[in-house]
Amino acid sequence: MTRSGFEQTCKIHTKPKATSRSAPLFPDLEPLNDLLRTPPLSTQDRLLHIQALGRRIDRYIRLMRSVGSMAGSSAEAKKLAVAVFHECLAALEPPLGRIPEELQRLSAKRGGKLDP
């Protein structure tokens, strides 16, 4: 297995691809997937999407944490999957972390009041 096989999962796609989907890997997340197929139109919608995405990412993290007990995959594949997942997550965290930091900075600058 090559690293490039996993790198495709780390790229952000701007257009959804029309592909046939097999059975969902996480059937418990299907209601969230349904929500995320609709574009958010308001701040409240975006907050619901953020919550849904957080639950989805949490599920992925739990799966990756249990990779050691996963049957049917080679040790090399597991090691590579964990490395690529970590790389993607580590790259995503800093820009996401800057957003609330900036919001707090702006809020403190305005005395705790933000414009809607």
Amino acid at 48: L
* Phi, psi torsion values for 74, nearest 5 degrees: -75, 160
pLDDT along the chain (116 residues), means of 10: 51 48 62 84 94 92 93 91 96 95 90 59
The predicted pLDDT at position 111 comes to 76
The predicted pLDDT at position 112 comes to 60
Which tokens in the block code for residue 97? 């972390």
Q: In the chain, which residue ranges form alpha helices assigned H by DSSP?
A: 3-7, 30-36, 43-65, 75-109
Give the Cα-Cα-Cα angle 81, 87, 92 (nearest 5 degrees). Answer: 125
The predicted pLDDT at position 31 comes to 73
The predicted pLDDT at position 14 comes to 41
The predicted pLDDT at position 36 comes to 85
